[in-house]
Amino acid sequence: MCYFHVVNCCKKNLRSHPVATQKSICDEIYHLHCSVSEVEFEGRYREVSARWRIDFPEFARYFNMQWILGNFTDWKIYCSALGIASTNNTLESFNNVIKRCYTLNARHSLSALEDLLMEQLVFDISMDIKDLRKCYKLCHLPSVEVKQKSEAIDESNYVIREERNGLVTYQKHGNDEIYHVSCLNGKCTCRYYMKMGYCKHLLHFHALLNEDSDL
């Protein structure tokens, strides 16, 4: 289930409310979306739904019927594999590559679009096939922002400890949460990794080992 469509539908239902209220509720929905297990989701939903029923009863009924009891309930990150695009149609990811890298989000005539795709897109795909690369990955790739955040990690802002069995723990100063990065399987226990399939802790961990990652 595409999380983007969940949020869009909720925004439409909240049109009559102030912008600040819409943002607050959407932030709470994103918090629900980032649950790493059904148990955690249920606990979070009990908390926000109790408040919604008092302050926004119509929206609370809509959300419960549509996104909790309805046919579209797999919009939480624990419902899909790590790093997989949170869309119900992977063709959207393919179209996004075309718009972002080839048409640059500009409109073209049909003949101009054909020339553009034949001269650039087909050439790039053929090179991917020649070098045995996957043309369009369904998994997310690390953004520049996350790479910059990983480079900013050091002992001044994190407590970094090497544990047994190839584990490294990361704890940000002033934060009780501890994240574990495993060198055996290249995984992290933070929520960002659960959603995207990569995170700043994992990238920093590979930098510590002075090795490349698959990301």
How does pLDDT run across 36-84, given as a tens digit for each residue?
889 999 999 999 999 999 999 999 999 999 999 988 888 888 887 665 5
pLDDT of residue 214: 52
Do 8 and 62 lie in one domain? The reply is yes
pLDDT of residue 119: 83
Residue 139 lies in a domain: no
Do 75 and 118 lie in one domain? The reply is no
Inter-residue contact 197 to 83 (CB < 8 Å): yes
Distance separating alpha carbons of residues 88 and 79, to the nearest angstrom = 12
Do 154 and 203 lie in one domain? The reply is yes
Residue 111 lies in a domain: yes
Nearest to 4 by CA among 106, 55, 58, 72: 72
Do 64 and 109 lie in one domain? The reply is no
pLDDT of residue 106: 84
- The count of domains in the chain is 3
Do 75 and 30 lie in one domain? The reply is yes
Do 96 and 73 lie in one domain? The reply is no
Residue 135 lies in a domain: no
Inter-residue contact 179 to 188 (CB < 8 Å): yes
Do 115 and 158 lie in one domain? The reply is no
Do 155 and 198 lie in one domain? The reply is yes
Do 102 and 66 lie in one domain? The reply is no
Do 10 and 58 lie in one domain? The reply is yes
Residue 86 lies in a domain: no
- What's this model's pTM, rounded to 2 decimal places? 0.56
| Domain with 56 in it | 3-79
pLDDT of residue 213: 53
Residue 11 lies in a domain: yes
Do 170 and 202 lie in one domain? The reply is yes
pLDDT of residue 88: 52
pLDDT of residue 68: 94
Residue 20 lies in a domain: yes
Distance separating alpha carbons of residues 45 and 49, to the nearest angstrom = 6
pLDDT in tens, the chain (215 residues): 678 889 999 999 999 999 999 999 999 999 899 888 899 999 999 999 999 999 999 999 999 999 999 888 888 888 876 655 555 555 666 677 777 777 887 888 888 888 888 888 888 778 777 766 656 555 566 778 888 999 999 888 999 988 777 788 999 988 888 888 987 777 888 888 877 778 899 888 888 777 655 54
pLDDT of residue 63: 96
CB within 8 Å of 196: residues ≥ 6 apart: 83, 140
Residue 138 lies in a domain: no
Q: Among residues 68, 99, 130, which one ends one of the domains?
A: 130
Write the Ramachandran bin of 153: left for phi over 0, alpha for psi from -120 to 50, otherwise beta: beta
Residue 136 lies in a domain: no
Inter-residue contact 33 to 75 (CB < 8 Å): yes
CA 12, distance to chain mean position in Å, is: 22
Name the strands in the sheet holding 179-182, side by side, starting at the edge strand that comes first in the sequence.
158-162, 167-172, 179-182, 187-188
